[in-house]
Amino acid sequence: MTTTMKRPPYEAVVIGVSAGGMHALRAILPSLPEKFPMPVVVVQHRGPEDDGFFAQYLDQRCAVQVKEAEEKEEAAPGMVYLAPANYHLLLEDDRTFSLTMESRVRFARPSIDVLFESAADVYGSRLIGIVLTGANDDGSRGLAAIKKRGGLAIVQDPASAEVATMPRAALQAAEVDFVLPLTTIGPFLANLCKE
Amino acid sequence: MTNTTDDDKEVEDLEITLLLEGMFKRYGYDFRDYSMAHLRRRLRYRLESSSLPDMGAMLHLVLHDRSFFELLLRDLSINVTEMFRDPDIYLMIRNEIVPRLKTWPFVKIWHAGCATGEEVYSMAILLHEEGLLERCQIYATDFNQIALKKAKAGIFPLDQVRKFTSNYQKSGGRESFSDYYTADNDSVILKNWLKTRIVFADHNLVTDSVFSEMQLVVCRNVLIYFNRDLQERIFQTFYDSLCPGGFLWLGSKESLKLSAIGKRFEALFPDEKIYKRAL
């Protein structure tokens, strides 16, 4: 840990993204410093047959390590975890991951709501939830759950989103703390832990 | 949902703990070591669907009303499956594991948590095509009696047959998949002879004991719903159920990697989650 790292009042970041996600995550995740002091957990909607290529692709472009979340693995700082295709990703009280094959939630598996709601249970007010570009309303219910527990809610400015439906739905469903254009979300997170 | 503070969460967790304890004491079904995140989701779903005020009310209902308990049992068991799911792994079983199984004079296979049976029948078809079925006994078990009844019937919705057929072909199937079923208006009925080497049985992985000495244990996408302690216990059960050199086949996202008993297995095909009990 370098001396310039400050411990933020948050313990984890969850991100939900759908259509346009590849571009959006590429814009955000490379801004995070190698020792970013929180785990970042991402649900990106994708097809059931999708392999782990996307994690590898992002990992090569980020200072933080990017990988697919594994069953019972502990969520660690300085790591970005992607939900594997065709499974829901949940967080347990001991900060380990669970995967389930429960049916699709509003057409999605992995579902953003499922991750967000379980993370809200675990981290309470010490959680940041971010909803990015997408063509459905997944994440709205989850972001509202994060707010209910006193967490921080961020939504990508619909004007800067490849597809504005998902951020718009989130803005309607939850009292959002920050609406940020895509390019500022990464620096915003990085600044949380800078002196 | 009134889940707003840490305090509320503490109370809800306590209620859930009592609910699980109540279900175990009253009905003998033990969900106490299931994944808490999964339980919360499923129980909250039931809370909303049945318009109950809180988990405490649910506890009362479950203790007094067996039909509500059965509803909850259905909520808590996930039966997502298909024939030849992960066909590339079936291909590997066919090419790599079956030849090894053939070295035993008689082969016993335990399919633990078989749900509605699709993968059990897949295994029977594969063994038949490899000329091994006649020397096999397959035990297919589940705690969910509704699922088990469906498994025994071997009748599946017609709209799934396209997926099953495509999986079968990718899994290295040697015949025409349609040889194995007859179809009516809305379902496919698997041929009865496929059942001759299968025994379906009510068995609860969590509360019931070791089965018998097996050459292969198949348990896919069951353990993901358990917490780590329970996973460890079940891995021990599998270890005890396997003959030396026997095989354990887990779900695509399950692994012995983080488990203490993992050392007593050889990761034969770790990507495909096929393990071998040490000799």
Domains and CATH numbers, chain A: 12-192 (3.40.50.180)
Radius of gyration of chain B (CA): 20
Contacts of B35 in chain A (CB under 8 A): 90, 92, 98, 100
Whether the pLDDT of residue B1 is over 60: the answer is no
Please give the average per-residue pLDDT across A59-64, as a whole number. Answer: 96
What is the pLDDT, as a whole number, of residue A6?
Answer: 65
- Residues of A marked active site are found at 18, 45, 138
Please give the average per-residue pLDDT across A21-40, as a whole number. Answer: 96
Task: For residue B191, give how far its alpha carbon lies from the nearest alpha carbon of chain A (Å).
Answer: 29
* pTM, two decimal places: 0.92
Cβ-defined contact of A92 to B35 (cutoff 8 Å): yes
List Cβ neighbours of B273 (8 Å cut-off, separation of 6 or more): B89, B220, B249, B250, B251, B252, B254, B255
Domain(s) labelled CATH 3.40.50.150 in chain B stretch across 87-277
The answer to whether the beta carbons of residues A125 and A151 sit under 8 Å apart is yes
CA atoms within 13 A on the CB side of A158: 12
What is the pLDDT, as a whole number, of residue B4?
Answer: 66
Under the banding of pLDDT at 50, 70 and 90, the label for residue A2 is very low
Among B224, B228, B256, the strongest candidate for a mutation testing the A interface, having the largest count of A CBs within 10 A, is: B224
The rounded distance, in Å, linking the Cα atoms of B54 and B21 is: 16
Please give the average per-residue pLDDT across A170-186, as a whole number. Answer: 97
Radius of gyration of chain A (CA): 15
The CA distances from residue A24 to A18, A44, B38, B39, B223, in Å, are 10, 10, 29, 33, 34
Indicate the average pLDDT of chain A.
93
Please give the average per-residue pLDDT across B121-125, as a whole number. Answer: 98
Whether the pLDDT of residue B140 is over 70: the answer is yes
The answer to whether the beta carbons of residues A130 and A124 sit under 8 Å apart is no
The answer to whether the beta carbons of residues B137 and B106 sit under 8 Å apart is yes
In 3-state terms, what secondary structure has residue B189?
Answer: strand
Task: For residue B205, give how far its alpha carbon lies from the nearest alpha carbon of chain A (Å).
Answer: 18
Contacts of A73 in chain B (CB under 8 A): 258
The rounded distance, in Å, linking the Cα atoms of B198 and B175 is: 21
B residues 37-76 lying closer than 8 A (beta carbon) to A: 37-38, 40-42
CB-based contact, B78 to chain A, within 8 Å: yes
Whether the pLDDT of residue B167 is over 90: the answer is yes
What is the pLDDT, as a whole number, of residue A193?
Answer: 78
Task: Select from B6, B78, B228 the Cβ nearest to the Cβ of A100.
Answer: B78
Q: Which fold has domain B87-277?
A: Rossmann fold (3.40.50)
User: Which residues of chain B form beta strands (DSSP E)?
Assistant: 107-112, 136-142, 155-157, 181-183, 187-190, 198-202, 214-219, 242-250, 265-269, 274-277
Complex ipTM, two decimals?
Answer: 0.90
The burial of B267, by beta-carbon neighbours within 10 Å (0-12 exposed, 13-18 middle, 19 or more buried), is given as: middle
More confident residue, B145 or A3: B145
What is the pLDDT, as a whole number, of residue A152?
Answer: 97
Cβ-defined contact of B37 to A87 (cutoff 8 Å): no
Q: How many residue pairs from chains A and B have C-beta atoms closer than 8 A?
A: 71
What is the pLDDT, as a whole number, of residue A5?
Answer: 63
Q: What percent of chain B has pLDDT over 70?
A: 99
Q: What are phi and psi of A156, to 5 degrees?
A: -65, 135
> For residue A71, is it left (φ>0), alpha (ψ between -120 and 50) or beta?
beta
Task: Select from B253, B255, B257 the Cβ nearest to the Cβ of A87.
Answer: B253
CB-based contact, A148 to chain B, within 8 Å: yes
What is the pLDDT, as a whole number, of residue B2?
Answer: 42
Measured between alpha carbons, how far apart are the two ends of chain B, in Å? 53
In 3-state terms, what secondary structure has residue B171?
Answer: coil
pLDDT in tens, A67-100: 999 999 999 999 999 999 999 999 999 999 999 9
Q: What is the DSSP string of A35-75?
A: T-SS-EEEEE---TT--THHHHHHHTT-SSEEEE--TTPBP
